[in-house]
A and B are shown apart, each in its own frame.
Chain A
C-alpha cells in the first residue's frame, strides 16, 4: 500500500448526497479479477453519455461535458469533495480502487458509509470527515476559485485552505499508523498469530460445533 503523509491537491467538488458505490463503479466492471485499472470507469454512467462495458477503449467514448469530473478545471484533481453518506450501498472495494486509480488520494465529506470508509484505508486513500458547515464552506470556495487546492497533513490531522484556515479531523491511531507507513495489515496481524491460535483452541473447546 502507498503511504499517505502529506498532500497538496486540487479539489473536485461532487455536489450530491448519498453517492452509492454502484454509481462510483457500475456492476459490469466488477467482473474483472484484477484490482487495478478501474479509474477510467469511475462514475461511468455519469461521466460518459454512452453505455460502458469492460474492455472498451474509453478514450473513444462520448464524454458528458456536464459532469463535474469532466470540467477541464478539475483535471488532475487529487481531493474529492463530497456530501453526506458518501459510498453507501454495496461493499465493493472496486469503489475505492476506482477512486484511487483515477488519481484521488483523499475524499472529504460530512459522513461516509461504514464499509466504504473502512475499505479506503486498505488502499492508501484517506477519507476525511469534516462538519457539514466546513464542507459547505469548502464547496463554496472550490466552486468559486479555479485551481483551488487543499493541503492535507495526516501526521497533524489537518486540512488547510489556501487562505491558511486549518480544520482538524479524527482518525484512529491504528489506521493512522498503517496509512503513514503504508503497512501491510495482514503482516501486522500475523505478528499476533500465537494469540489467535490460543483463542481459537479455547473456542474450539467451548463450541466444538463451530469447527466441523
Chain B
C-alpha cells in the first residue's frame, strides 16, 4: 500500500459507504453538544419522531450563555436561561454519555471539557456544532465543526454526509524562541496563508516546532485552523499525546489501554505521504504576534506598525484595510506597542487551559494592572482548570494584580453572556476572532497570546513580552 497521511488514515477508517461522485457517509465516534447549536436539532428529532442513533456518543455541556460571576443568582438573561434549560431538558429526554450542566464542577468550554475528560481520543471522528471543534485534532482525531442540520443528522444516523478534503501539511521547523507560543505560531500561519488559505483542506501540523509543543499548545494551534479556513487541523500521535490521555475519566483502562496505545501509535503520516499542498515556516522567524485589524490574517509581529492602506495595490485588500483601520480607530504607521488597551480578556477555547493561566500568571506575578485598563477578565476554560489554578495559587496572583478571577465559560470570546466590550473599547484578547462586533458591538479586538495579554494589562498598551520585565 502506498504511503498514507494521517488524514488519509482517519478518513479511510470511517467511511461507511461511498457514492460515485465521492460523497461518503462518514461514521462519527464523538458528538460534542452545547446549548446554542443543538435546540433546533433536538426539535428536528422530535418532529420526525426519531431517537439518537447512539446517545453514548454525546458529551454535552453549557458554555456559551453561562455567566462568569454571581453563579448563586443563576442566569439572569431570560433568553439565555431558556436556551440552557432547553439543553438540560433535551439531554434528560434523549440521553448522553456525560452532561456537565451549568454549575457542575466539570462544566466548561466544550473544547476544554472534551479532552480533559478523555472524551476525545486519537483515531476518533469528533464533531460539534461549533467551528472550533478543530481543537480536538491535536489528538490525531478528525475533528471539525458542523451546522445544526448536521448535528441532527449525526444524532439520527451517527454519520455525516461528506467529501474528502484536499490535504495540506503545515510544517514548522526549528525551535520557538522564548516568549513565543502556540498562539503566535497559529497567528503567524494565518498571516502567511490568509483566512481562506486552508479552505477546502484538512491540515496536518508537523515539524520539530510542533513536536516541541505541549498537547495544550497543539490544541491552541488546531483550534485556530478554522481561522485559516481549514475545517480540520491535526497533529500526529506521539508520547506526549499518550501521556496526556493516561487515566482521564473516559480514556480506556487496563488491557484496552494497551490495545488503544498500540493502535494510536500508527496515527502518524507515513514516510513519503503525499500532500496536495505544503507550507513551511521557520520557528526562529516567528515573533510574538498582535492582530491590528478585523480579520485574523491582519496580524503582525509586535514590533511592527499598523499598515498603510495606500501601500496596497489590490483594490479589494486596500478597501478592507481602510475599513479595518476605521473600525479599529487606528492610524496607519502607528507602532503596535503605542496602542493602549481598555480591557483584557484571558480565556476562550483557544487559551484558557492551565498552561495558559500559568503563563499569564507568570507575567502578572507581583505586578499591578495599569490605571488605564478598566477590566482584566481571567476566565478558566472549565471547572477542573479553575480548581487546578486555585490549587496552584494562580487566582491569588491574578487578584493581587487587579485582575478578575471568574467562573468558566466562553465569556467575552463571543460575548453571548454579560461579558462584553462597549462601543469603541479596545481589548487585548487571547480568543480567536477579531471580527467586527465579535466581543460586543463596536468593540475592538486585538488577538494575542496569554503572555502578551497579561503584559498588555500591566503596561496598559501592547509590549514585547520577550523584553518585558
A: which residues have CB within 8 A of B? 15-18, 20, 22-23, 26-28, 30-35, 45, 51, 54-55, 83-85, 88-93, 96, 111-115, 118-119, 122-123, 172-175, 184-186, 189-190, 192-193, 195-196, 199-200, 203, 207-212
Cβ contact within 8 Å between A189 and B157: yes
Q: A33-B83, A210-B29 are in contact. Are A18 and B195 (CB under 8 A)?
A: yes
Closest residue of chain B to A54 (Cβ to Cβ) is B79
Closest residue of chain A to B231 (Cβ to Cβ) is A114
Supplied contacts A18-B195, A31-B77, A173-B19, 14 more A-B pairs, CB within 8 Å:
A16-B320, A17-B317, A20-B435, A23-B436, A26-B437, A31-B416, A51-B441, A55-B79, A85-B195, A93-B149, A113-B199, A122-B147, A172-B21, A200-B27
* A12 CB → nearest B CB, Å: 18
* A60 CB → nearest B CB, Å: 18
Cβ contact within 8 Å between B435 and A190: no
Partner of B263, one of A84, A185, A200, A207: A207
Identify the 9 closest CB pairs spanning chains A and B, nearest first. Answer: A209-B252, A122-B149, A93-B147, A119-B147, A33-B39, A91-B145, A85-B196, A174-B23, A91-B131
At the interface, yes or no: B129 with Cβ under 8 Å from chain A?
yes
Q: A93-B147, A199-B27, A203-B27 are in contact. Are A113 and B82 (CB under 8 A)?
A: no
Cβ contact within 8 Å between B161 and A89: no
User: Which residues of chain B come closer than 8 Å to A17, judged between CB atoms?
Assistant: 316-317, 320
User: Which residues of chain A come closer than 8 Å to B149, judged between CB atoms?
Assistant: 93, 119, 122-123, 185
**How far is A184 from B156 in the complex, measured between Cα atoms in Å?**
12
User: Which residues of chain B come closer than 8 Å to A123, judged between CB atoms?
Assistant: 149
At the interface, yes or no: B40 with Cβ under 8 Å from chain A?
yes
User: Which residues of chain A come closer than 8 Å to B22, judged between CB atoms?
Assistant: 172
User: Which residues of chain B come closer than 8 Å to A35, judged between CB atoms?
Assistant: 40, 43, 148
Cβ contact within 8 Å between A199 and B16: yes
At the interface, yes or no: B395 with Cβ under 8 Å from chain A?
no
At the interface, yes or no: B404 with Cβ under 8 Å from chain A?
no
User: Which residues of chain A come closer than 8 Å to B48, judged between CB atoms?
Assistant: 184, 186
* B244 CB → nearest A CB, Å: 16
Q: A18-B295, A93-B37, A172-B163 are in contact. Are A192 and B438 (CB under 8 A)?
A: no
Cβ contact within 8 Å between A114 and B200: yes
User: Which residues of chain A come closer than 8 Å to B39, judged between CB atoms?
Assistant: 33
* A61 CB → nearest B CB, Å: 13
Q: A31-B80, A83-B316, A196-B16 are in contact. Are A91 and B36 (CB under 8 A)?
A: no
Cβ contact within 8 Å between A115 and B146: yes
Cβ contact within 8 Å between B161 and A174: yes
At the interface, yes or no: B256 with Cβ under 8 Å from chain A?
yes
At the interface, yes or no: B20 with Cβ under 8 Å from chain A?
yes
**How far is A28 from B64 in the complex, measured between Cα atoms in Å?**
11
| Chain A to chain B contacts (Cβ below 8 Å), 15 pairs | A15-B319, A22-B438, A27-B415, A28-B416, A30-B64, A31-B36, A31-B83, A92-B147, A93-B129, A96-B147, A118-B150, A186-B50, A189-B156, A200-B27, A209-B257
At the interface, yes or no: B56 with Cβ under 8 Å from chain A?
yes
Would you call the interface of chain B mostly helix, strand, loop, or mixed?
A: loop
Q: A33-B39, A174-B23 are in contact. Are A27 and B156 (CB under 8 A)?
A: no
- Most chain B CB atoms below 10 A, which of A32, A88, A195: A88
User: Which residues of chain A come closer than 8 Å to B5, judged between CB atoms?
Assistant: none
Cβ contact within 8 Å between B320 and A192: no
* A175 CB → nearest B CB, Å: 8
* A123 CB → nearest B CB, Å: 7
**How far is A16 from B315 in the complex, measured between Cα atoms in Å?**
11
Interface of chain B residues 64 through 83 with chain A (CB within 8 A): 64-65, 77, 79-80, 82-83
Q: A88-B229, A186-B50 are in contact. Are A195 and B23 (CB under 8 A)?
A: no
At the interface, yes or no: B260 with Cβ under 8 Å from chain A?
yes
Cβ contact within 8 Å between B146 and A91: yes
Q: A18-B295, A23-B437 are in contact. Are A33 and B86 (CB under 8 A)?
A: yes
Cβ contact within 8 Å between B250 and A190: no
At the interface, yes or no: B152 with Cβ under 8 Å from chain A?
yes
User: Which residues of chain B come closer than 8 Å to A122, judged between CB atoms?
Assistant: 147, 149-150
* B343 CB → nearest A CB, Å: 17
* B68 CB → nearest A CB, Å: 16
Interface of chain B residues 141 through 173 with chain A (CB within 8 A): 144-150, 152-153, 156-159, 161, 163, 165
Q: A84-B196, A123-B149, A192-B17 are in contact. Are A91 and B437 (CB under 8 A)?
A: no
**How far is A212 from B253 in the complex, measured between Cα atoms in Å?**
11
Cβ contact within 8 Å between B23 and A200: no
* A31 CB → nearest B CB, Å: 4
**How far is A8 from B229 in the complex, measured between Cα atoms in Å?**
32
Contact with A along B82-121 (1 / 0, CB 8 A): 1100100000000001000000000000000000000001
* B225 CB → nearest A CB, Å: 11
User: Which residues of chain B come closer than 8 Å to A212, judged between CB atoms?
Assistant: 56, 97, 250
- Most chain B CB atoms below 10 A, which of A85, A115, A123: A115
User: Which residues of chain A come closer than 8 Å to B415, judged between CB atoms?
Assistant: 27
**How far is A161 from B209 in the complex, measured between Cα atoms in Å?**
51
**How far is A113 from B40 in the complex, measured between Cα atoms in Å?**
22
Cβ contact within 8 Å between A89 and B320: no
At the interface, yes or no: B130 with Cβ under 8 Å from chain A?
yes
**How far is A27 from B415 in the complex, measured between Cα atoms in Å?**
7
* A197 CB → nearest B CB, Å: 9
**How far is A196 from B161 in the complex, measured between Cα atoms in Å?**
12
User: Which residues of chain A come closer than 8 Å to B416, judged between CB atoms?
Assistant: 27-28, 30-31
Cβ contact within 8 Å between B316 and A186: no
At the interface, yes or no: B123 with Cβ under 8 Å from chain A?
yes
At the interface, yes or no: B377 with Cβ under 8 Å from chain A?
no
Cβ contact within 8 Å between B131 and A90: yes
Cβ contact within 8 Å between A30 and B36: yes
* A3 CB → nearest B CB, Å: 16
Interface of chain B residues 416 through 462 with chain A (CB within 8 A): 416, 433, 435-438, 441
**How far is A32 from B80 in the complex, measured between Cα atoms in Å?**
9
Cβ contact within 8 Å between B29 and A113: no
**How far is A45 from B80 in the complex, measured between Cα atoms in Å?**
20
Cβ contact within 8 Å between B37 and A23: no
Cβ contact within 8 Å between A114 and B229: yes
Cβ contact within 8 Å between B200 and A192: no
